[in-house]
């Protein structure tokens, strides 16, 4: 089974930017990202911009992102082989 990578908050923001998410606001170290789908549906995620995210936090962000992006597209960025 692939192992979840240790990512920084900035790396996660860059990964999600590939799928159309943009930083909407930032309060302290937490960035709010938003994506508008073709149907006009808004998708919002909050990402802590810490130097290294805990695996549980990274897994939670991945789980929330799969509401908007197919998991198969995100897995190569979040898991190592």
Residue 54 counted as domain residue: yes
Residue 74 counted as domain residue: no
Residue 75 counted as domain residue: no
> pTM for this structure?
0.89
Is the sign of the CA dihedral 24, 27, 70, 10 positive or negative? positive
Residue 24 counted as domain residue: yes
Residue 31 counted as domain residue: yes
- According to DSSP, residue 51 is labeled S
Q: How confident is the model over 33-72, as pLDDT tens digits?
A: 999 877 778 889 999 999 999 999 999 999 999 999 999 9
| Structural domain span for residue 14 | 3-69
For residue 44, give the CATH number of its domain.
Answer: 3.30.920.30
Residues 6+ apart with CB under 8 A from 41: none
- According to DSSP, residue 52 is labeled S
Q: What total number of domains does the chain contain?
A: 1
């Amino acid at each position: 089974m692939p192992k979840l990578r240790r990512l920084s908050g900035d790396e996660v923001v860059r990964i999600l930017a590939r799928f159309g998410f943009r930083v909407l606001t930032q309060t302290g170290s937490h960035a709010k990202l938003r994506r508008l789908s073709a149907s006009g549906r808004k998708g919002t995620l909050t990402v802590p911009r810490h130097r290294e995210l805990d695996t549980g936090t990274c897994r939670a962000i991945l789980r929330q992102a799969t509401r908007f992006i197919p998991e198969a597209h995100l897995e190569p960025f979040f898991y190592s082989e």
